[in-house]
Structure 1
Amino acid sequence: MFEYLTGLITMVSPDFIVVDVNGVGYRVAVANPYAYQEDDQQVVQVFIYQAVKEDAITLFGFATQAEKRLFTQLIGVSGIGPKSALAILATPDHQGLIDAIQNGDDKYLSKFPGIGKKTASRIIIELKDKVVAVQDEVQLDFTAPGPLGPSAALQDALAALESLGYTTKQVERVQKQLEGLQGELSTNDYLSQGLKLLSR
């Protein structure tokens, strides 16, 4: 059983990343692949959940232990498989997801692919008291650990915005505003600010 992988990102695709650990490339499904920096000099740590079936072994990756814990809580709900849980975690608003579970907001949960009203109700019933334990920990942080310069963090955030469905023109519209932000910002910070600007 894997706990985490530490290595170089050698490939980023719409569905997965490849982490090279001492010459072995591990294909890892992640919620937002484009948030990982594709740089052969960038060492990252990706927390791993290993799903074993008769015909396949799949690795699911997470930027933080808290994100992995939320994933394992979701797949513990009847009717939620690893792919559905990963699709839910692709939302940039993890705190909004937790709030929806705690507040019994089945309408919010039903907006995710493959999640109907019955499944949303099961998520609420089974996780309402469990997600409290990670509420303070789980913040959106798709950036793998390691030093990221402001420009790299911004580029990752812009790529993440496009992967969430915004057009190149919309992303370019907010790019200059994001470039003007002060302070040392992470991909998470840029992404959050970008979503606020795009929702206006």
Structure 2
Amino acid sequence: MIEFVSGTVNYISPEYIVIENRGIGYQIMTPNPFVFQKYLNHEITIYTYQHVREDILALYGFETREEKALFMKLLNVTGIGPKGGLAILASGDPIQVIEAIENEDEKFLVKFPGVGKKTARQIILDLKGKLVDIIPTAISQDLFNFDEVEQKEESANSLTEAVEALKVLGYSEREINKVIPSLKEESLSTDQYVKKALQKLLK
């Protein structure tokens, strides 16, 4: 098992990032790859989960060990695969997800792509009371010890990238088109657009 990868953020796509370490590029699937946009060409540490199946070998990466732990617990739920786990964590607010599970808030959980009432109930049954090892305050820690790099992105390009990221997470064009008008009113980075869109989609 690869516990973490430290290296330089070499490339970012709507689905994954590439971390370069000693001439090797590690393709790592993350909940919202554009979170790492401001760290492009900088060195970071990303906590990884290696997923092995007969037809796939993939690395999934997270900003904190706690976020990774929540992802792994979600994978143990019947009906939740890696893609579903990423979609749930992409909201950028794991604490909200944990609270929904503890409060048996099915209405909140079914808003995620691929999560129906049956799966939401299964998440609650399997995980309620079993998330004590995930420390909420640690989830929001900033792991990077350097000042934020100035971002000069065109809003149009950022919004386009954000839309692609939402599609990868499993949201339909119909759902995405509902939130685009309000997003266009603001000039944001891709990461901010994704988070804003998810806030609106999960209401």
TM-score tier after normalising by the smaller chain length: 0.7 to 0.9
Report how far residue 39 of structure 1 moved: 5.7
Q: Where in structure 2 are the equivalents of 1:45-194 lying within 5 Å?
A: 45-137=45-137, 139-140=139-140, 145-149=144-148, 151-152=150-151, 163=165, 167=180, 170-171=182-183, 173-175=185-187
Contact 2:3 2:47 survives alignment (8 Å): yes
Once residues 37 and 45 of structure 1 are traced to their aligned partners in structure 2, the CA distance between those partners, rounded to angstroms, is 14
Work out the percentage of aligned pairs sharing the same amino acid: 35
Residues 1:123 and 1:28: Cα distance change in structure 2 (over 3 Å): same
Contact 1:10 1:38 survives alignment (8 Å): no
Report how far residue 152 of structure 1 moved: 4.3
Q: SS in structure 2 opposite 1:9?
A: strand
Once residues 50 and 84 of structure 2 are traced to their aligned partners in structure 1, the CA distance between those partners, rounded to angstroms, is 15
Unaligned residue ranges in structure 2 (runs of 5+): 167-175
Report how far residue 172 of structure 1 moved: 6.4
Q: SS in structure 2 opposite 1:52?
A: strand
Unaligned residue ranges in structure 1 (runs of 5+): 179-187
The one-letter code sitting in structure 2 at the alignment partner of 1:151 is E
Report how far residue 107 of structure 1 moved: 1.1
Q: What's the TM-score once normalised by structure 2's chain length?
A: 0.75
Residue in structure 2 matched with residue 2 of structure 1 by the alignment: 2
Aligned length: 185
The one-letter code sitting in structure 2 at the alignment partner of 1:147 is F
Q: SS in structure 2 opposite 1:133?
A: coil
Once residues 40 and 28 of structure 1 are traced to their aligned partners in structure 2, the CA distance between those partners, rounded to angstroms, is 14
Contact 2:38 2:151 survives alignment (8 Å): no
Q: Where in structure 2 are the equivalents of 1:20-39 lying within 5 Å?
A: 20-37=20-37
Report how far residue 170 of structure 1 moved: 4.7
Once residues 133 and 40 of structure 2 are traced to their aligned partners in structure 1, the CA distance between those partners, rounded to angstroms, is 36
Q: SS in structure 1 opposite 2:25?
A: strand
The one-letter code sitting in structure 1 at the alignment partner of 2:3 is E
Deviations 1:103-160 (A, max 9, x none): 001111011111111110010111110123314245356x6624132634999xx779
Residues 1:23 and 1:150: Cα distance change in structure 2 (over 3 Å): closer
Q: SS in structure 1 opposite 2:136?
A: coil
Once residues 87 and 185 of structure 2 are traced to their aligned partners in structure 1, the CA distance between those partners, rounded to angstroms, is 27
RMSD over aligned CA atoms reads 3.5
Q: What's the TM-score once normalised by structure 1's chain length?
A: 0.76
> Structure 1 segments of 4 or more deviating over 3 A?
38-41, 137-141, 150-155, 158-167, 169-175
Which sits farther off after the overlay, 4-13 or 124-133?
A: 124-133
Residue in structure 2 matched with residue 18 of structure 1 by the alignment: 18
Residues 1:107 and 1:58: Cα distance change in structure 2 (over 3 Å): same
The one-letter code sitting in structure 2 at the alignment partner of 1:12 is I
Once residues 152 and 131 of structure 2 are traced to their aligned partners in structure 1, the CA distance between those partners, rounded to angstroms, is 29
